[in-house]
Amino acid sequence: MKMICIGRNYSEHARELNNPLPETPVFFMKPESAQLRNNMPFFYPAFSNDIQYEVELVLHISKVGKMIEPGFAHNYFDGIGVGIDFTARDLQQKAKEKGLPWEMAKAFDFSAPVSKFIPVSEFNDLNNIRFGLDLNGKRVQDGNSSDMIFNFASIISYVSRFITLKQNDYIFTGTPSGVGPVKIGDRLEASLEGRKMLLCNIK
Ligand code: MG
């Protein structure tokens, strides 16, 4: 499996990192080895001094698809969860300044804690899904899918022009504003529609 991650999909977050708003989705990938499942702790890696959280809605891809039209995109995912796109912001900033790829900063081992998935059929309105992140019990990020620049259908359609989607792939759909650093001893809790879905202790 692979994880495709959308960057700059919430305008306030793009602004907080001084990035221009994209005209087409920006995406990058995390490999299978980036997965962190079952609320396992995240061990702070030695190569960074600025690991930051980004809470995101995550789509579970349900079947193979390529060149998917937006109107058919709903046939290609069957679950929605929350995940954290851990980012080594110091490495990413250096890469950005040099125009180099982001993989070192984004795709490293265990950089993607992901919750269980809720069946799509349990959501009333995919364009109005609330999610958020608490750091040590305090709300730091609040998101709603209504604020995405590119909605689920646009993302799936755009990405599948370049990359075949396969069953059990994940799509991270971008983070709202409020990203920030973690330190050893911190506790992150992500919620979806008011339900606690994901716990991640930083060790
Ligand atoms: Mg992200």
Task: Tell me the domain boundaries of the chain.
Answer: 3-201
Note the pLDDT of residue 20. Answer: 84
pLDDT of 50 above 90: yes
Note the pLDDT of residue 18. Answer: 84
Report which residue type is found at 159.
V
Separation CA 39–CA 113 (nearest Å):
7
Between the CA of 175 and the centroid of ligand 1 the distance, in Å, is 5
- What percent of the chain has a predicted confidence (pLDDT) above 90? 94
Between the CA of 13 and the centroid of ligand 1 the distance, in Å, is 10
Indicate whether this model's pTM tops 0.85: yes
End-to-end CA distance of the chain: 27
Between the CA of 24 and the centroid of ligand 1 the distance, in Å, is 16
Task: Retrieve residue 159's tokens.
Answer: 């990405």
Higher pLDDT, 119 or 18: 119
* Sequence-ordered list of residues with C-beta below 8 angstroms from that of 177, at least 6 positions apart, any chain: 10, 12, 13, 15, 16, 141
pLDDT of 14 above 80: no
Separation CA 118–CA 198 (nearest Å):
12
pLDDT of 69 above 90: yes
Separation CA 179–CA 140 (nearest Å):
8
Average confidence (pLDDT) over 26-31: 97
Task: Give the max Cα distance, the chain.
Answer: 45
Between the CA of 7 and the centroid of ligand 1 the distance, in Å, is 5
pLDDT of 63 above 80: yes
Between the CA of 4 and the centroid of ligand 1 the distance, in Å, is 10
Q: Of 175, 190, 181, 152, give the one whose Cα is nearest residue 13.
A: 175
Note the pLDDT of residue 149. Answer: 95
pLDDT of 147 above 80: yes
Separation CA 202–CA 48 (nearest Å):
14
Which phi and psi angles does 96 have, rounded to 5°?
-60, -45
Note the pLDDT of residue 181. Answer: 98
pLDDT of 158 above 90: yes
- DSSP annotation of 145 reads G
pLDDT of 81 above 90: yes
Half-sphere exposure of 123 (CA within 13 A, CB side): 24
Between the CA of 27 and the centroid of ligand 1 the distance, in Å, is 9
Note the pLDDT of residue 22. Answer: 85
Residues for the chain: how many in total? Answer: 203
Q: Which CATH superfamily is domain 3-201 in?
A: Fumarylacetoacetase-like, C-terminal domain (3.90.850.10)
Note the pLDDT of residue 21. Answer: 84
Note the pLDDT of residue 179. Answer: 97
Between the CA of 196 and the centroid of ligand 1 the distance, in Å, is 20
Residue 95: band (very low, low, confident or very high) from pLDDT cuts 50, 70, 90: very high
- What percent of the chain has a predicted confidence (pLDDT) above 70? 100
Note the pLDDT of residue 113. Answer: 98
Average confidence (pLDDT) over 41-69: 98
Between the CA of 87 and the centroid of ligand 1 the distance, in Å, is 8
Which of 179-190 are b and which e, b meaning 16 or more Cβ less than 10 Å from the residue's Cβ? beebeeebebbb
Asked if residues 76 and 70 have their Cβ atoms less than 8 Å apart, the reply is no
